[in-house]
Amino acid sequence: MKLVIDRVSKQYQNRIAVDRVSATLQKGVYGLLGANGAGKTTLMRMLCGILKPTGGTITFDGIDVSEEAYRAVLGYLPQDFGYYPEFSALDFLLYLAALKGIPKAQAKRRARELLALVSLQEAEKKKIKTFSGGMKQRLGIAQALLNDPKLLILDEPTAGLDPKERVRFRDFIQTLGKDSIVLLSTHIVSDIEHIADEILMMKAGQLIYRGNWAHEKGDLEEFYLQQFEEEGTHE
Amino acid sequence: MRREVREELKRVFEPPKPQGKRAFLRALAQPRISILRFALTQLGYIRRWSWAVSVMIFAGSVAASVWSPSRLLGIVSAFAPLLALTVVTESGRSESYEMAELETATRFSLRSVLLARLGLLGLANLVMFFLLLPVVVWRQELGVLRAGLYILLPYLLTAFAGLWVLRRFRGREAVYCCVGVAACISFLAAMLFETVPQLYQPDMVSWWFAGVLALGVGTVRQCTGIVRDSLAA
């Protein structure tokens, strides 16, 4: 199981959002840190096939990101996502299960399993428009797991979760990382400090640091802040 | 083994927790739905009001053919943009409700969703067209070609304009704009039928034909454009 990101770039007219990023990821949890405008979301969107790279390639076990077989093993939670207003939590999961190619009977079982996992089983028939931000985020996490993905990309997954939910989420991600490649981006250093097998740091579209963060290297948050304290970052 | 003994053993001994369940399940070939089956599942996700509009248009046209047969063509021409509106608004739904990103990252992706919606509703509208056409031909004593052109032109004009708007503007505002466009074309079609009957004379058929052809090509281009736009930017 290998995700190969080979000199991937994304350029918009006069701005380079991602600049020749290369990395090979295997099973485990990878934390992607970076300030606003560093290129994290752009990189994640390219890894999910939502944006086409201007240069470079992305492959999972040799399958290119543009192919259906790549998307079949992918689970993605965007930073922001909407919903069709008539959908309940269960309807939402069943709809996305159909898009992921999961047959209806299996989808229903899996949806109910995941709703229980994210503590939304009581709300399965409630309309999503009545959900709080945290409930919506948990539903988003559930949909990312529908197809038991080998590659899980989570963009700011803990936004809106309360501290107890964040701890549960961290434990859960650690379990997932044993059998899948999990890449999660966050501003909250403590979310990944203890669970990430590797930290990747982005600044101005480039990967400036990659490695295991051991405690003897000092405080990760301090190191992270040092990288960004002078830069006038922009959105 | 006797059933009571078996039940008692089950009660007394707790089975061991499964080891490597996830890896085992992953190794099995999982059943997947085909693209045709996927397209058919999309039928259930097309909004009810889209079908309700089609049914109401059909019912209204049939009622008009009985109670106001001389105005039937004007009424059907005025209804045609509303049919086109159902196709346009369904194709813009993913963007306007911010579901496009989630849908793009799935196996079938946004492109398949759009093709399914456009295909299913387009087919439904085609059926509606072939149901209404003979009624108009009979009641208005028009040839099939003329009747077809008078209904198709407002339909295609709405489809073309609506899809053009969706490709250039984002969000719910784009959809409201499409509704406005459809309402204007519908009103225009009704007014022209009442106030400019010269437009509906046989010597004007070549203009109608040219208009339908141009708008047909334009609509197909907008459809392929909207599907192309759904691919990775």
Is B1 a domain residue?
no
Residue A167's pLDDT is: 84
Contact A81 B101 (CB under 8 A): yes
Domain of B69, in residue numbers: 32-232
CA distance B114 to B86: 13
pTM value?
0.84
Residue type, B61: S
Kindly state whether residue B24 falls inside one of the protein's structural domains.
no
User: What is the rounded (10 degree) CA torsion for A107, A110, A111, A117?
Assistant: -170
B232 near A52, Cβ under 8 Å? yes
User: Distance between CA atoms of B81 and B185, rounded to whole angstroms?
Assistant: 7
Q: Is residue B21 part of a domain?
A: no
Task: Give the three-class secondary structure for A136.
Answer: helix
Sheet holding A74-77, edge to edge: A74-77, A151-155, A181-186, A28-34, A198-203, A206-211
Asked if the Cβ–Cβ distance from B102 to A80 is below 8 Å, we say no
A200 to chain B, closest Cα gap in Å: 23
Return all residues near B222 (Cβ < 8 A) that are at least 6 apart: B159, B160, B163, B164, B167
Q: What is the pLDDT of residue B80?
A: 92
3-state secondary structure of A177: coil
| Segment B23-31 long-range contacts (CB within 8 Å, at least 24 positions apart) | B23/A179, B25/A148, B26/A148, B26/A150, B26/A179, B30/A102, B30/A106, B31/A103, B31/A106
The amino acid occupying position A77 is L
Within a domain: B16: no
Could you tell me which residues come within 8 angstroms of residue A163 by beta carbon, excluding any fewer than 6 positions away? none
Element (H, E) at A176: helix A163-176
- Joined together, the tokens standing for residue A64 give 């290119």
Contact B33 A66 (CB under 8 A): no
Q: What is the dihedral of CA A186, A6, A182, A127, to 10 degrees?
A: 70
Positions of chain A with pLDDT lower than 50, given as ranges: 231-235
Kindly determine whether residue B97 and residue A74, on different chains, have CB atoms separated by under 8 Å: no
**B50 within domain boundaries:** yes
Taking the CA atoms of residue A145, residue A150, residue A155 and residue A159 in that order, the dihedral angle to the nearest 10 degrees is 40
B68 falls within a domain:
yes
10 Å CB burial of residue A199 (0-12, 13-18, 19+) is: buried
Total domains, chain B: 1
User: Taking the CA atoms of chain B, what radius of gyration do you get in angstroms?
Assistant: 26
Picking from A8, A13, A50 by the largest number of B CB atoms within 10 A of its own CB, the best residue to mutate is: A50
Residues A124 and A87: their CA atoms lie apart, in Å, by 10
Which run of H or E residues covers position B131?
A: helix B109-140
For chain B, the residues whose C-beta falls within 8 A of a C-beta of chain A are: 22-23, 25-26, 30-33, 38, 41-42, 45, 47, 93, 97-99, 101-109, 112-113, 231-233
The CB density around residue B7, as the number of other CB atoms within 10 Å, is 10
Amino acid, single-letter form, for residue B26: R
Q: Which amino acid is at A40?
A: K
Helix axis angle, A89-99 to B109-140, nearest 10°? 100
Q: Is residue B23 part of a domain?
A: no
> Is residue B5 in some structural domain?
no
Q: What is the pLDDT along chain B (233 residues), one digit of tens a residue?
A: 678 888 888 788 777 777 776 666 666 656 667 778 888 888 888 888 888 988 898 888 888 888 888 888 889 999 999 999 999 988 888 888 889 999 999 988 888 888 888 889 999 999 989 988 888 888 887 888 898 999 999 999 999 999 999 998 888 888 899 999 999 999 999 999 889 988 888 889 999 999 999 999 999 999 988 888 877 65
> Quick one: CA dihedral B164, B165, B167, B172, positive or negative?
negative
